[in-house]
Amino acid sequence: TAATAATALETNAADAPQKTSQKSDDETTANPAPPPPAVLVLEIIRQQYPDKRLDDQDVLQGIYNDIRGDIARSGRLSSFPLQNADEPGFLFAALDSDH
């Protein structure tokens, strides 16, 4: 299923940090950790855009890596503090079709 494929991608991620858990097996199965945001986004993509090409594990891994990179860049960009008076480094002007 799609959830199994997304879980497998997270398990196979080479650069994912390894966590050591000191919880008992019963506590872990009763309260499983929520999946990472990239897995959730990948699952949404698979459900909204069904395609036979998304059954290929290599394709899913590439999409998953792109999503993780996008989420990481978004976090870095969001962490950059802006003041209320900060403006972009360019001027924007709407194109007037009359001129």
| CA distance between the termini of the chain | 56
pLDDT at residue 3 is higher than 70: no
Give the Cβ contact number of residue 39 at 10 Å.
Answer: 21
Whether residue 38 has pLDDT greater than 90: yes
pTM of the model: 0.56
Range 66-74 average pLDDT: 96
Chain mean pLDDT for the chain:
78
For 44-53, 66-75, 81-90, which range has the lowest pLDDT when averaged over its residues? 81-90
Confidence of residue 24 (pLDDT cuts 50, 70, 90): low
Residues 6+ apart with CB under 8 A from 21: 28
